[in-house]
Amino acid sequence: MRVVVLRLGHRPERDKRITTHVGLVARAFGSQEMILAGRDERLVEGLEDVALRWGGDFQVRSVSSWKAEARSWKEAGGRIVHLTMYGTPLSESMEEIRRSDPLMVVVGAEKVPPEIYEMADWNVGVGNQPHSEVAALAVFLDRLFLGRELEMDFGGRIEVVPSPRYKTVIERRKEDEAEG
Ligand code: SAM
């Protein structure tokens, strides 16, 4: 299933860390792309660097018009779910959402433009308490993929060897990858 995350409302001077975390969660929890509404080259480069070292095929790109992006997504047959504390319960629409491929998941920052409520096929609440786009996205993706995303093999240059007590990491050299 193709899932892209659209991050609205990024303010480069305030949201670097939280938008980076949106990107990290998007990648680690099974989405293939984050689209950033607005520009922040360093943030994009930082996430690309993570993807390069830790594997997988996660992409990040900036767009100047989120509306144009969402419109063309829908024109191409994609569906949109907007995560908001004002939305309907996750469990009510999850089965239908799971059948909707490709899927765009929209998360906001401080405020979201009102049009997104109209453009979205679903406005979904991960509970109806205010919390965070990072938490909302993680819970949503985990429910969407039924937890299986946590077993994905990213095939990265860096890989953690799970351990009950120690930090064990394998780091392959670039040259080793080139040699196969
Ligand atoms: N007024 C916002 C709202 O509509 O959810 C809360 C702003 S919150 C700081 C930033 C983002 O976190 C929101 O745009 C939304 O994507 C996400 N978020 C926060 N709480 C959520 C919840 N209970 N369910 C779903 N998404 C939530």
Q: Is 83's C-beta closer than 6 angstroms to any atom of ligand 1?
A: yes
* The predicted structure's pLDDT at residue 104: 98
Is any atom of ligand 1 closer than 6 Å to the C-beta of 180?
no
What is the per-residue pLDDT across 63-80, written as a single tens digit (0 to 9) for each?
999 999 999 999 999 999
Q: What value does the mean pLDDT take over residues 98-107? A: 98
DSSP one-letter string for 43-110 = HHHHHHHHHHHHBS--EEEEES-HHHHHHHHHHTT-EEEEEEEEEEEHHHHHHHHHT-SSEEEEE-SS
Instruction: Kindly report the average pLDDT of the chain as a whole number.
Output: 95
Q: What are the residues whose beta carbons fall under 8 Å from the beta carbon of 20, sequence distance 6 or more? A: 43, 46, 47
Cβ of 31 less than 6 Å from ligand 1 = no
The helix or strand, by DSSP H or E, that contains position 41, with its residue range, turns out to be helix 41-54
**Residue 147, number of CB atoms within 10 A of its CB:** 11
Q: Is the pLDDT of residue 114 over 70?
A: yes
Question: Is 28 annotated among the ligand-binding residues?
Answer: no
pLDDT the model gives residue 80: 98
Count CA atoms closer than 13 A to 178's CA, side-chain side: 3
pLDDT for the residue 173: 80
Residue 86 predicted with pLDDT over 90: yes
Q: What is the mean pLDDT of residues 40-56?
A: 97
Pick the CATH number of 3-153 from 3.30.110.40, 3.40.1280.10, 3.40.50.850, 3.10.20.70: 3.40.1280.10
Ligand 1, atom 21: closest residue by C-alpha: 85
Is 124 within any annotated ligand binding site? no
pLDDT score at 179: 52
Q: What residues are paired with 6 via a beta bridge?
A: 35, 106
Query: Which tokens in the block code for residue 4?
Result: 């892209």
User: What is the percent of the chain where pLDDT is above 90?
Assistant: 95
pLDDT surpasses 80 at 178? no
